[in-house]
Chains A and B, each alone.
Chain A
Amino acid sequence: MSGAAADELAALKLETATQEFSDIVTTHRPQIFRFLLASTRDVDLAETLTQECFLKAHRNWSSFRGESSAMTWLMRIAINLQKDHWRNRRMQFWRHTRTNSVDLDEASDWLPSGERTAEQRILAKEQVSHVWRAVKGLSERQRTVFMLRYVEEQELSEIARATGLSEGTVKAHLSRAVGRVRAELGGKR
């Protein structure tokens, strides 16, 4: 193979990889953003972490071997970024701990504009508020597992791969998280 042909092939490969990555971003960005938004309740932070996630993914794109799905790989990066963020916040205890997290009532205001009666909307809002309240009381790991299962609707095996936990541990975290939601819903009277 001549030098010019090799260069052309390399350029083609780069172009393909860039296009592939661009498709990955387009496809998975909403899911990553949604997961981070649900986990942090902070729009700006979710946006920042989503950008960092794709930046990191782009840097390591060549090392992605496709052993898991791209979504699982990206989710793992997002989970680690989120963990790092909270750890850094704890370490920098002397800084002014400003948070942009919206409060639970505000988060519960969001409902899809479907065909619901006023009563159904009130009931749905109340339920969403109770679930948020339960989620707030969960540990970081329980919350992550809960969001992946009930918001992203991932399988247990996918969650285990994304979090680096065993399926048994994922089940245990999920069970506790659902127990809390159940208790919170049961407590409203």
Chain B
Amino acid sequence: MRFMGLFGRGRDRVESGAELDLAGVDEALELALKNFKESVVAWSDAELGRTRPAVKTVRQRSWQLAAGWALSVALVAGSVSGGVFDHHRRVEMAKAAAAAQAARQQAVAERQAREDDQDLLAKVDSDVSKEVPSAMEPLAQLMAEDDSR
């Protein structure tokens, strides 16, 4: 196929004055377009000559069109409001979780504080308190001395 090799370089060759190559390019293009036309004509003639059963064209009614649009709008609105609702719900859940966390932390802190107070009181008790002699002890000692005599 001679024209194939010449095809892509047609313009360059024209500029350099090689008219033979341009003729080759145009010939190939013309032949392709001629074949294309003949092909379309053959196809069209064959289809025109073919009898085909009559098909009732079902036109889409305007209410179907309106229903289609309404459905689309409803879907879009539903998606948007669903997204907003979901976002709102997430924010609320995050707030609730944060509040619960804070309450837990506060409870732990309170318990810790209570335990610290009890420990401190116990330590103070142990450090400060002393064994005090009984109020009757000197008298008891005197009585013991008398008995021994």
Is there an interface contact between B46 and A110, defined as CB atoms closer than 8 Å?
Answer: yes
User: Among residues 106 to 145 in chain A, which have CB atoms less than 8 Å away from a CB atom of chain B?
Assistant: 107-108, 110-113, 123-124, 127-128, 130-132
Q: Which residue of B lies closest to A111 (CB)?
A: B39
- How close is B19's CB to chain A, nearest CB, in angstroms? 18
Taken together as a complex, chains A and B put the C-alpha atoms of A123 and B35 apart, in Å, by: 10
The segment from B24-32, B91-99, B103-111, B124-132 found at the interface with A is: B24-32
The segment from A65-73, A77-85, A164-172, A178-186 found at the interface with B is: A178-186
Asked whether A151 and B29 contact (CB < 8 A) given A34-B44, A37-B47, A110-B46, the answer is no
Is there an interface contact between A185 and B40, defined as CB atoms closer than 8 Å?
Answer: no
Taken together as a complex, chains A and B put the C-alpha atoms of A150 and B65 apart, in Å, by: 38
How many residues of B are in contact with the other chain, CB < 8 A?
Answer: 33
**Is B48 part of the binding interface, using a Cβ–Cβ cutoff of 8 Å?**
yes
**Is A175 part of the binding interface, using a Cβ–Cβ cutoff of 8 Å?**
no
User: Among residues 2 to 45 in chain A, which have CB atoms less than 8 Å away from a CB atom of chain B?
Assistant: 29-30, 33-34, 37-38, 43-44
Taken together as a complex, chains A and B put the C-alpha atoms of A95 and B29 apart, in Å, by: 40
**Is B45 part of the binding interface, using a Cβ–Cβ cutoff of 8 Å?**
yes
Is there an interface contact between A127 and B40, defined as CB atoms closer than 8 Å?
Answer: no
Main secondary structure of the interface of B (DSSP, over half): helix
Is there an interface contact between B47 and A130, defined as CB atoms closer than 8 Å?
Answer: no
Is there an interface contact between A108 and B47, defined as CB atoms closer than 8 Å?
Answer: no
The segment from B1-9, B114-122, B133-141 found at the interface with A is: B1-9
- How close is A145's CB to chain B, nearest CB, in angstroms? 14
Collect the chain B residues with CB atoms within 8 Å of residue A110's CB: 39-40, 42-43, 46
Is there an interface contact between B57 and A48, defined as CB atoms closer than 8 Å?
Answer: yes
Is there an interface contact between A37 and B33, defined as CB atoms closer than 8 Å?
Answer: no
Taken together as a complex, chains A and B put the C-alpha atoms of A178 and B30 apart, in Å, by: 11
Is there an interface contact between B36 and A131, defined as CB atoms closer than 8 Å?
Answer: yes
Taken together as a complex, chains A and B put the C-alpha atoms of A187 and B32 apart, in Å, by: 14
- How close is A124's CB to chain B, nearest CB, in angstroms? 4
Within 8 Å by CB of A181, from B4, B29, B38, lies B29
Q: Which 3 A-B pairs have the closest CB atoms?
A: A110-B43, A34-B44, A127-B32
Chain B positions within 8 Å of A, measured between CB atoms, are 1, 4, 7-8, 10, 25, 28-29, 31-33, 35-48, 52, 55, 57, 60, 65, 68, 71-72
Given A124-B35, A131-B36, output 10 extra A-B contacts at Cβ < 8 Å: A33-B44, A34-B41, A46-B47, A107-B39, A111-B39, A127-B31, A128-B39, A132-B36, A181-B29, A182-B7
